[in-house]
Chain A
Amino acid sequence: MDGLFEILGFAFMQRALAAGLLVALMSGLLGTFVVQRRLSFLGDGLAHAAFGGMGIGALAVVTFGVLDAGGGWLRHPLWVALPFALLTAFGIAYVRDRTDLSSDTAIGVFFAVAVALGVLAFSRIPPDVNLGFNVMDLLFGSILAVRTTELTAIAVAAVVVVTTLGFVWGRLAYATFDDELARTDGVRARRLEYLLFLLAAVVVAVSAVVVGIVLMAAYLVIPAAAARLWSRSLAGTSVRAVAIGMTTTLVGVIASFYLDAPTGSAIILTQAAVFVAAIVLRRR
């Protein structure tokens, strides 16, 4: 136990836990809707959009030579990744809204384009350039390397997500239950769907740096899916999704430190264990 307090004393560990817990909070609240609306693929699509945005952002930073200029956090590729993910989210929602294509088809198309753009952009960056992060970190996350910049972005996103959901939860849940009934009661279901997609883009873009592109979708989906198996109400699902996300993050981060395992893997495997337990011990 001494060891535990000791590692919690490290600043990098505190940042990692703070980032992880905030990501778990946002993902749990949003993931409940994502899972209930059968949009599990959305997290994946948006995470890859963020990857594309990161690539373009990194290339822009390199090309315009701002790398050695001052301005610190302003040159973070997140500033391209975020709008890029938002644009993608809007595009997916728009295609879903205006065509007969299903959302997974729309997501699949945007997903591929974003990855192609990202790969292209990264290929144009000379290998000896120090971006402040490496592409592997982007793919697999580096929660223990979270910087104050990223933590700040995550904290701001958390405030935005929690506040917005606080305002629209009842209506969004109503529209999730039944779009038509909600609309007969004056709920703007379309707009709420766009809003949900945009919020998901924010969460995914700011979190992907930390959790990694590959695992981001799991963060959004697994805790909410496990919580769903244990819950009889949507609000209950949300609360449990957040609790599961936070607990597994805590356990995963600490376990990865002791076992010298990649943090992202440790967290997701912990979440998967909870998911399996939820299936086995599910309420009948």
Chain B
Amino acid sequence: MKGSAPAAAGAGPAAAPFPAATTVPPRVPALHVHDVSVRFGDALVLDDVRFDLEPGHFLAIVGPNGAGKSTLVKVALGLITPQRGHAAIFGHDAGDAPERIGYVPQLKTFDRTFPATAVELVVSGIRRQWPVRVAQAERARAMAALVDVGAEGLADRPLARLSGGELQRAFLARALVREPDLVLLDEPATGVDFLAEHDLYDLLERYQARRGATVAMVTHDLAAARFHASRVLVLNRRLHGYGLPEDVLCDECLHEAFGHVGHRHAVAF
């Protein structure tokens, strides 16, 4: 599994006698998940999951409902402490480097009665606090982020008035405004009306090209995963496959992962 690292493969580690020019310094993985097991009560939700994601990749995490995908993301964010194992982001323990991560949550039941505008939401991504008032410079930065995701028109709209898709754009701007090295997205397009998925992939790929960032995204859309991702991870409690999309997204692997949960339909793509 480690062999799937991109650039490092050719250089070889035996470069000791010839330092400098020929050596490729060992790269710290963008996302390092080591031996992670998570249990909720009696339910083993993640079972000994381990993988390394090298920087610069676009990882799609797929698996049936209840497979533990969101749990894995939360372990990476430091929201859940696994019973065994650990996760690290660019060598920092999960939760220790929030400024390097841009997180886009699953469109969720956040409190729609909270009085806020999209700009404030984006500024919270800069400050990592809720703004009492938005300074001029922050507003300019937030606006630029909103423009990047095609949401400039939403800036001063109350969040409560945004559609699901508009909201996800605002959350995406919030995640990207801090220029993270790792963008973590949990089914950002599921159940969302207008944020066409290809549009989302476009945005992410542009951001990636600009910043050399790493993207890890939980998705239901296997076709998009095959087309856009450079790595795919198939998860159903255990890790059922990790590697190149064409290797991992084979019928067999998917059957193995999806089969016993009964989400056969997901295999047909």
> Which residues of chain B come closer than 8 Å to A185, judged between CB atoms?
98, 128-129
A and B contact pairs by CB, cutoff 8 A, 19 listed: A171-B129, A171-B130, A173-B130, A177-B130, A178-B105, A178-B110, A180-B105, A181-B103, A181-B124, A184-B78, A184-B98, A184-B101, A187-B129, A228-B115, A231-B115, A233-B115, A234-B114, A235-B133, A237-B115
> Which residues of chain A come closer than 8 Å to B151, judged between CB atoms?
none
Residue A174 at the chain B interface, CB threshold 8 Å? yes
Residue A36 at the chain B interface, CB threshold 8 Å? yes
Which A217-252 residues have a C-beta within 8 angstroms of B? 228, 231-237
5 nearest interchain CB pairs? A170-B129, A173-B130, A185-B128, A174-B130, A235-B132
CB distance from B216 to the nearest CB of A (A): 14
Residue A71 at the chain B interface, CB threshold 8 Å? no
> Which residues of chain A come closer than 8 Å to B114, judged between CB atoms?
36, 176-177, 234
Q: Please tell me if the beta carbons of A186 and B98 are within 8 angstroms of each other in the complex.
A: yes
Q: Please tell me if the beta carbons of B132 and A169 are within 8 angstroms of each other in the complex.
A: yes
Q: Please tell me if the beta carbons of B101 and A177 are within 8 angstroms of each other in the complex.
A: no
Would you call the interface of chain B mostly helix, strand, loop, or mixed?
Answer: loop
Which B93-109 residues have a C-beta within 8 angstroms of A? 95, 98, 101, 103, 105
A180 to B158, CA, bound (A): 21
> Which residues of chain B come closer than 8 Å to A236, judged between CB atoms?
115
Q: Please tell me if the beta carbons of A177 and B105 are within 8 angstroms of each other in the complex.
A: no
Residue B166 at the chain A interface, CB threshold 8 Å? no
CB distance from A155 to the nearest CB of B (A): 24
Identify which of A171, A176, A234, A236 gathers the most chain B CB atoms within 10 Å of its CB: A234
Identify which of A171, A184, A231 gathers the most chain B CB atoms within 10 Å of its CB: A184
* Nearest A residue (CB) for B95: A186
Residue A282 at the chain B interface, CB threshold 8 Å? no
> Which residues of chain A come closer than 8 Å to B98, judged between CB atoms?
184-186
> Which residues of chain B come closer than 8 Å to A231, judged between CB atoms?
115
Number of interface residues of B (CB under 8 A): 25
> Which residues of chain A come closer than 8 Å to B116, judged between CB atoms?
177, 232-234
What is the size category of the interface that chain A forms with chain B? 20 to 34
> Which residues of chain A come closer than 8 Å to B110, judged between CB atoms?
177-178
Binding site for A on B (CB under 8 A): 77-79, 95, 98, 101, 103, 105, 110-111, 113-117, 120, 124, 127-133, 158
CB distance from A229 to the nearest CB of B (A): 10
Identify which of A232, A233, A236, A237 gathers the most chain B CB atoms within 10 Å of its CB: A233
Q: Please tell me if the beta carbons of A233 and B127 are within 8 angstroms of each other in the complex.
A: no
Given contacts A36-B113, A186-B98, contact A234 B130 (CB under 8 A): yes
* Nearest A residue (CB) for B120: A233
> Which residues of chain A come closer than 8 Å to B132, judged between CB atoms?
169-170, 173, 235
CB distance from B133 to the nearest CB of A (A): 6
> Which residues of chain A come closer than 8 Å to B120, judged between CB atoms?
233
* Nearest B residue (CB) for A186: B98
Q: Please tell me if the beta carbons of B115 and A184 are within 8 angstroms of each other in the complex.
A: no
Which A173-230 residues have a C-beta within 8 angstroms of B? 173-174, 176-178, 180-181, 183-187, 228
* Nearest A residue (CB) for B184: A184
Q: Please tell me if the beta carbons of A174 and B124 are within 8 angstroms of each other in the complex.
A: yes
Identify which of B110, B116, B117, B132 gathers the most chain A CB atoms within 10 Å of its CB: B132
> Which residues of chain A come closer than 8 Å to B124, judged between CB atoms?
174, 177, 181
* Nearest A residue (CB) for B103: A184
Q: Please tell me if the beta carbons of A180 and B117 are within 8 angstroms of each other in the complex.
A: no
* Nearest B residue (CB) for A168: B129
Q: Please tell me if the beta carbons of B111 and A234 are within 8 angstroms of each other in the complex.
A: no
> Which residues of chain B come closer than 8 Å to A235, judged between CB atoms?
131-133
A185 to B124, CA, bound (A): 10
Given contacts A170-B127, A186-B98, contact A178 B158 (CB under 8 A): no
> Which residues of chain B come closer than 8 Å to A186, judged between CB atoms?
95, 98, 128
Q: Please tell me if the beta carbons of A180 and B79 are within 8 angstroms of each other in the complex.
A: yes
> Which residues of chain B come closer than 8 Å to A228, judged between CB atoms?
115
Q: Binary interface profile of A, 148-174, with partner B (CB < 8 Å = 1, else 0)?
A: 000000000000000000000111011
